[in-house]
Amino acid sequence: MKTFFAIALFLFSALAFSQEEFGPKGPVVKIAPVPLVNAVQGKPVTVSLSFNVANGFHINSNQPKSEFLIPTTLKIEPATDIVIGKTIYPAGQDTSFAFAPDEKLNVYSGDFKVDLIVHPLHIIEPGKYAVHGSLKYQACDNTACYPPKNLPVSFDVKIAHAPKAHVANPAQSPHAHQ
């Protein structure tokens, strides 16, 4: 039994290595430069991250149709006093491929955007903060899928002071001036 598992592990490792060796030579997914994000203490802001999948490839969407497919996921490690809220993935495109013509896979190809809510807490000091993370994806072409990869993601958030709250003077009694 141990021999069977050893052989299976060897074959799986060899397959993963050979796919990596014969797979895409460059990055399959790229991120466009993210402009400086301007935010105010205590106010959430939406950040749009633009990605591009190289021609001839696709990646599984965030909601693939099979539990056996690896979804595309964005994981962000925020700076202290910045909370990352909801991540909004686009709908994928249902597409069939030659290796499974009767099954439609939900994928991203070409350009797609992922939006996320960045919420600086009201106690954060104004300044510029670096936010880092990664996009995990599995690239496939029309004949094979390759081992999952992580694309580094980073952007800067410039936090400004929240405007001072206007405090109204208390109403005066009409009898005060008599």
Q: What are phi and psi of 7, to 5 degrees?
A: -65, -45
Q: How is domain 2-160 classified at the CATH fold level?
A: Immunoglobulin-like (2.60.40)
CB contact at 8 A, 59 and 48: no
What does each of the 178 residues of the chain score in pLDDT, given as a tens digit?
433 333 333 333 334 444 444 456 777 999 999 999 999 999 999 999 999 999 999 999 999 888 888 999 999 998 889 999 999 999 999 988 777 788 888 999 999 999 999 999 999 999 999 999 999 999 999 888 899 999 999 999 999 998 876 666 666 656 655 5
The pTM of this model reads 0.77
| Pairwise CA distance, residues 88 & 94, whole Å | 18
pLDDT of residue 18: 41
Q: Is 74 left (phi over 0), alpha (psi -120 to 50) or beta?
A: beta
Task: Please report, for the chain, the start and end positions of each structural domain, with discontinuous segments joined by +.
Answer: 2-160
**Amino acid at the residue 7:** I
Q: DSSP readout, 92-108? A: -EEEEETTEEEEEEEEE
Query: DSSP character for 5?
Result: H
